[in-house]
Amino acid sequence: MSKLNIDQKTIKLLLTDKHSDFLIPDYQRPYAWGEDECATLWDDLFTFAFPNDDCDAFESTSDEYFLGPIVTFKNGAGQLEIIDGQQRLTTIMLLLRAFYDKFANMKDKQSIKVRDSIAGCVWKTDEFDDPDMDALKIDSEVASDSDKDEFLDILRHGSVGPTAHSAYSRNYAFFSKRMAEMASEWPSYIALFAARILNNVILLPIEAESQDTALRIFSTLNDRGLPLADADIFKSQFYKHFSGEGRKDEFVTRWKALEETANLIFKPTSGTPLDELFTRYMYYRRAKKGIRDTTTKSLRDFYSENSYEILREDATLDDLESLLDFWKRVDAQEGFSERVTRRLFVLNYAPNGMWAYLLSTWFLAKRNTKGELDDEELYDFLCYITGFIYAYSLERPGVNALRGPVYPALIDIVEGRKVDFSAHLFDRETITGRFRSYQFTNQRRFTRSMLVWWAYSDPKQPLMDLDTTLEIEHIYARKRNEVHPLSNRSNLEALGNKAMLEKRVNIRASDYQLTDKRKYYEGYVNDKGVEVSGTAVRELVEIARCGDFTESDIETRTERIITAFVEWLGKLDLLRE
């Protein structure tokens, strides 16, 4: 069982402890508090210290204000490496330093005593408790924070230079201004305020025995900020590697660009955008190692093998940048032939995300020196994995089931062999039967997958932007069914009665008879003379122009979609003879 040291302490007791030597490590995110957060903290602390603006309403022996936990572990250098609490502890240090500067010229006994206490919080002290003005109680090595030197400079000198621009400088200036206003309005309160912050504001230091334990605690306790992502830990390893080669500034610039681009492209349901990039890269590196095991390690466990060996290779960051550039082009729908772009659009609606790992591995293994892929090979590959993933997901729902056939395929890719799912071919009658019995409800991702595939099986279907919001449309409307119910109730939710439709059109067209929907599908000019565009889904426009859409049309269209897909599987050699 992991050992923890937990003992709530006042700010003064925590920071004046001889063993208090805090480090904001390189993998942490930059300081992010702004004036709004500082104003809230100041107002909360003032209300706590002076209830109802009454100096005497405070009970110094019992009143406490809980500020939050500080989760740390002692690193190899004996410093307390901060995992949680970086933002609040940084802000407290800025607040205390502003108080220290405010009391610089005050001669009253209370101000001098408070100033001496603050000195012991900001600076390390010798055996006579005299502060060593060159030794701060906190240091910052945040790799992506170019302003950290301003923070340390403020703590050392208590001033903000004319060129200072960081959040540290702005917040320090904010606190200084509030103290000046307070000293002007309530001069007798200022020393009391600082003393009550030092002696009655409580922090909960939690010292873990290791980084991993501290990270687990943070993930459990944290309910306000963002927990440290795996990519933050990986950043620290890169930072150490590049710093050791004298390329620290180069790395910081490249990492910042990587982070900004990933944030624009990836929208993962869990983890950060950079975590998603590292996940896609992990499948390539797994394949390079020949790993077939369907038990997948966590991202952090995989990259931490052999003391983060992969992250100490120069080629790794190059690969990540190249991979991200590829996905940037996929997202922008640029740099590919039209037929490839159409296949990529369909795959964006795949039943699961396994295709992205296959494609990432394909790109890294097949790219030329310019980061380009052969169009013919890529098109055939995209068609093949689309057919297989869709059909396999119908037979065995869930992304985990795909690991069995996909992991060996990843190895085939990196070793230059053709991806071959011949050991997992589908029986024509069985797969057709599964389609016919499948409940194509709106909530199932596979329903959307098939509807998008069907739309783009029409070679004349125009390509839509990836950011187009598509919703499921009932061609035979639900409201229409209430008045004229279908003889077979299941036909209302049948695949043949559904299509993908842009949300902006679906809002207007959802509850109308087909004859009324036609203008919404085709587009029209409203009463104000403004042209309202219709749908880009070509099939819906053609259906509307036929005049009506009946129950027999639903059944016929359902069979057409199923038959077309099964025949396509045959063309891809994914059916048994």
Instruction: Extract the tokens encoding 34.
Output: 């702004």
Q: What is the pLDDT of residues 18-32, one digit of tens each?
A: 889 999 988 788 898
* Residues 429 and 435: beta-carbon distance below 8 Å: no
Q: Are 449 and 350 in contact (CB under 8 A)?
A: yes
Q: What is the pLDDT of residue 418?
A: 94
Q: Is 271 exposed, middle or buried (0-12, 13-18, 19+ CB in 10 A)?
A: middle
What's the pLDDT score for residue 450? 97
126 versus 33: the higher-pLDDT residue is 33
347 exposure class (CB count in 10 Å sphere: 0-12, 13-18, 19+): buried
Structure tokens at 461: 């279907």
Q: Mean pLDDT, the chain, as a whole number?
A: 91
154 Rama sector, left if φ>0, alpha if ψ -120 to 50, beta otherwise: alpha
Q: What is the mean pLDDT of residues 280-292?
A: 96
> What pLDDT does 223 receive?
45
Among 125-129, 383-387, 468-472, which stretch is predicted with the lowest mean pLDDT? Answer: 125-129
CB within 8 Å of 34: residues ≥ 6 apart? 167, 170, 171
Q: Which tens digits make up the pLDDT trace of 67-115?
A: 988 989 898 899 999 988 899 999 999 999 999 999 988 888 898 999 9
Question: Which pLDDT tens digit goes with each residue over 456-515?
Answer: 999 999 999 999 999 999 999 888 898 899 999 999 999 999 999 999 887 666 666 787
With vertex at residue 135, the alpha carbon angle to CA 133 and CA 138, rounded to the nearest 5 degrees, is 120
Torsion (CA) 107, 112, 113, 119 in degrees, nearest 10: 180
At 436-456, the pLDDT tens digits run: 999 999 999 999 999 999 999
Mean pLDDT for 258-267 is 94
pLDDT digits (tens, 9 = 90+) for 143-184: 777 788 899 999 999 887 777 789 999 999 999 999 999 988
The predicted structure's pLDDT at residue 397 = 81
pLDDT at residue 444, rounded to an integer:
93
Distance from C-alpha of 393 to C-alpha of 573, rounded to nearest angstrom: 17
Report whether pLDDT(431) > 70: yes
Across 92-106, 217-231, 378-392, 517-531, least confident range: 217-231
pLDDT of residue 555: 96
Helical H runs in 27-108?
A: 35-49, 86-102
Is the pLDDT at 3 greater than 70, yes or no?
no
The count of C-alpha atoms lying within 13 angstroms of the C-alpha of 220, restricted to the half-sphere facing its C-beta, is 8
User: Among the listed ranges 185-194, 212-221, 359-368, which one has the minimum average pLDDT value?
Assistant: 212-221
pLDDT band for position 416 (50/70/90)? very high
Query: Which of the two residues, 270 and 543, has the higher pLDDT score?
Result: 543
Query: Residue 7: its pLDDT value, please?
Result: 79
Q: Between β-strands 498-502 and 470-474, what pairing exists: parallel, antiparallel or unpaired?
A: antiparallel
293: tokens are 């095991």
Q: Which residues contact 540 (CB under 8 A, 6 or more apart)?
A: 473, 475, 499, 501, 521
**pLDDT for 508:** 65
* pLDDT per residue as tens digits for the range 516-573: 788 888 888 888 888 889 999 999 999 988 888 999 999 999 999 999 999 999 999 9
Three-point CA angle 43, 46, 48, nearest 5°: 110
Distance CA 456, CA 565 (A): 12
Tell me the per-residue pLDDT of 27-66, one tens digit each, with 9 for 90 and over.
788 898 999 999 999 999 999 999 988 888 999 899 999 9
State residue 124's pLDDT score.
93
Residue 2 has pLDDT above 60, yes or no: no
CA count, 13 A, side-chain hemisphere, 441: 3
- Residues 241-254 have a mean pLDDT of 88
Q: What are the start-end ranges of the H helices in 160-247?
A: 167-185, 189-200, 211-221, 230-244
For the chain, count helices (H), then strands (E).
Answer: 25, 13
Task: Write the single-letter amino acid at 376.
Answer: E
Q: How confident is the model at residue 218 (pLDDT cuts 50, 70, 90)?
A: low
What is the C-alpha to C-alpha distance for residues 140 and 155, in angstroms, rounded to an integer? Answer: 12
Per-residue confidence band for 219, with pLDDT thresholds at 50, 70 and 90? low
Q: What is the pLDDT of residue 224?
A: 44
In whole angstroms, give the CA distance from residue 94 to residue 172: 6
The answer to whether 303 touches 310, Cβ cutoff 8 Å, is: yes
Chain Cα centroid distance, residue 179: 38
Find the mean pLDDT for residues 290-306: 91
- pLDDT-derived band at 225 (thresholds 50, 70, 90) equals very low
pLDDT of the residue at 59 = 92
